[in-house]
Amino acid sequence: MKIFIIRRVARALVILLFSLTAHAGGPEYPPTNNLLSHCYGVMSGGYGVFNNVLYNDGQTGVLHLAIGVQGDQVVGLELGIQTGNRMRINTNNVIKAIGDAPVYLTIKPPLDLLLTITSHLGLLPVFIQAKGGAVLLQGMIDSVTIKNQTQFRPEAQLGFGVDVTPLISLIAYYQCLFGNNPALTHPNVSAGTANLPNLPTFQAGFIGMQMRF
């Protein structure tokens, strides 16, 4: 009789311990399908290049920060910012026409708003993630005779991640900020002016961390 009672008590303790463990320490995995199931922050660093600029000026390290909300297991929304760059424009013929001096273009830190789609690979702690939306690019020219440019351009990201805990994931992804050839056009030799109709495309690879909260 005593052995039977001990077995029943031990079984109840095991069930209670398992229940407490399963419901403690953060969100369930895989995450529940509730509206606004979690918010998250992203910190990542990488290396990229602005296309069609002079020499190696477009090659730069970049830091990217973002915050987002995951509406369910698949769809979310993300707001981010990253570092910019200062570079010379690769249009020697126009540079000579307006004074034979380098024309520097500074891309201020881009701001983006992205729709995110996340898909876990079954019950594995691995996911793929695609993001798309718009980025605000602001280009400042180191010349009072060339107007600055502010443009909304499309952006895309594609990558994957690994959940190391229910709250932290390691991520790696490719990013493209779509632009065009930043060539100066319509030089006016007498006035020393020109136009900058386009801002350059930027492509980069990143690794980083995503934290849910």
- Answer whether residue 171 shows pLDDT above 90: yes
Ramachandran area for residue 147 (φ above 0: left; ψ -120 to 50: alpha; else beta): beta
Average pLDDT over residues 25-33: 46
33: pLDDT confidence band, cut at 50, 70 and 90?
very low
Average pLDDT over residues 184-211: 85
What is the percent of the chain where pLDDT is above 70?
74
- Answer whether residue 3 shows pLDDT above 70: no
Angle (CA) 197 202 97, round 5° = 35
Task: Say if residues 184 and 200 touch (Cβ distance below 8 Å).
Answer: no
What is the percent of the chain where pLDDT is above 90?
53
Q: How far apart are CA 188 and CA 193, in angstroms?
A: 5
34: pLDDT confidence band, cut at 50, 70 and 90?
very low
At 99 the pLDDT is: 57
Q: What is the dihedral of CA 88, 92, 95, 99, to 10 degrees?
A: 120
213: pLDDT confidence band, cut at 50, 70 and 90?
confident
Tell me how far apart the terminal alpha carbons of the chain are, to the nearest angstrom: 49
Residue 52, number of CB atoms within 10 A of its CB: 17
Task: Say if residues 92 and 78 touch (Cβ distance below 8 Å).
Answer: no
The burial class, CB within 10 Å (0-12 / 13-18 / 19+), for 12 is exposed
Angle (CA) 109 99 138, round 5° = 15
What domains are defined for the chain? Answer: 30-212 (2.40.160.20)
Q: What is the mean pLDDT of the chain?
A: 81
The amino acid at residue 68 is G
At 192 the pLDDT is: 64
> What is the tens place of the pLDDT at every residue in 175-188?
999 999 887 777 76
Task: Say if residues 202 and 46 touch (Cβ distance below 8 Å).
Answer: no
